Amino acid sequence: MRLSGPHIEGVVDTLLDALEHSLLPLTQARIFSWHCTLFPQKMSGPFPIHAGRYRTEPIEVIAGSYKNQEVLYEAPPFERVPQEMEGFLAWVNTASTLPNTVRSAIAHLWFLSIHPFEDGNGRMARTIGDYVLNQHNPTNLVLFSLATQLKRHQRAYYEHLHEAQTGSLDCTGWILWYLTQIRETLEIVIETIEKTLKVGRLFQRLSLNDRQSAMLGRLTTDFYGALTTQKWAKLSGCSHDTAMRDIKDLIENGALKQSEKGGRSTSYELVLE
């Protein structure tokens, strides 16, 4: 499934700008530009939105159903938003001895605590967090986004955010949790890189026909379920005998092995060094 549309493209565009231009200062104009990119049609679902402008109404973060709502957080009055953002941007753009990972955690929390826009504050906070991770660091860019990791642990994310916003000014717990998410993201990135290198070596050492090349490509990316001879034949548009020859050849070359998992049909697994 290919994700597309103005919403997805807006998120990608803001993230790319944050990562590729991390040496440029974070300004109000840049923040407004990112927000406009997130809402190119100036709509949040069916509702119109003032894209690229600070909110002019009070705002609360609410959880629960319509009949049983709970106010998790009340943002500062809208009259204070310009002043709060001025202080925030000044802090972001001031050099610091704090590691970028810690500054990213603080920036994420601080921006969401101001909640300067009608909508899109979460997406903006994640983009700003990625920006700060790369700030003043032109030779060692962090080319990944925490957004997927935070989405994966969404419940814990909101719990730690709520605790940091409603407790004391001590945000140590939030920072430690945020740093854990960075570490887990890096572990996933390392696993992905290692797998990519192994797949590359696999394709380099084998002489593959078109069917084998296509099927191995699927097995290393988005293949669903178990690989059987019948599935190979159907996906490759070949006979059962041809599929069996393809599979046996890959088994002899150490690229496939028979799966130990039970089932009505014999299945095979990819072998990576």
Position 262 scores a pLDDT of 62
Domain assignment present for 198? no
Could you tell me the two tokens for 229? 């001879």
Q: How far apart are CA 42 and CA 32, in angstroms?
A: 13
Position 260 scores a pLDDT of 82
Domain with 69 in it: what CATH number? 1.10.3290.10
Task: Name residues whose C-beta falls within 8 Å of residue 29's C-beta, 6 or more positions apart in sequence.
Answer: none
Specify whether 10 is located in the same domain as 101.
Answer: yes
Helical axes 210-219 vs 229-236, angle rounded to 10°: 110
Q: Could you tell me if 50 and 118 are in contact, meaning their C-beta atoms sit under 8 angstroms apart?
A: yes
Element at 157 (helix H, strand E): helix 154-166
Specify whether 171 is located in the same domain as 214.
Answer: no
Angle at 49 between CA 75 and CA 14, to 5 degrees: 85
Angle at 157 between CA 4 and CA 68, to 5 degrees: 95
Specify whether 227 is located in the same domain as 142.
Answer: no
Q: How far apart are CA 107 and CA 91, in angstroms?
A: 9
Instruction: Record the pTM.
Output: 0.78
Specify whether 256 is located in the same domain as 154.
Answer: no
Listed as ranges, residues in the chain with pLDDT below 70 are 1-8, 10-11, 64-66, 138-143, 262-263
* Alpha-carbon distances, residue 226 vs 191, 230, 238, 257, 264 (angstroms): 22, 11, 18, 12, 11
**pLDDT, tens digit (0-9, with 9 covering 90-100), for 31-66:** 999 999 999 888 888 889 999 999 999 998 777 666
DSSP state of 140: S
Task: Name residues whose C-beta falls within 8 Å of residue 237's C-beta, 6 or more positions apart in sequence.
Answer: none
Rg value, the chain, Cα: 24
Number of domains in the chain: 2
Position 4 scores a pLDDT of 46
Can you give the three-state secondary structure of 186-214, one letter per residue? HHHHHHHHHHHHHHHHHHHHCCCCHHHHH
**pLDDT, tens digit (0-9, with 9 covering 90-100), for 116-147:** 999 999 999 999 998 998 887 766 666 677 88
Specify whether 56 is located in the same domain as 81.
Answer: yes
Specify whether 54 is located in the same domain as 172.
Answer: yes
Q: How far apart are CA 95 and CA 205, in angstroms?
A: 49
Domain membership of residue 161 as a residue range: 6-190
Could you tell me the two tokens for 225? 């379920």
Position 65 scores a pLDDT of 63
Specify whether 120 is located in the same domain as 180.
Answer: yes
Domain assignment present for 197? no
Domain assignment present for 74? yes
Specify whether 86 is located in the same domain as 35.
Answer: yes
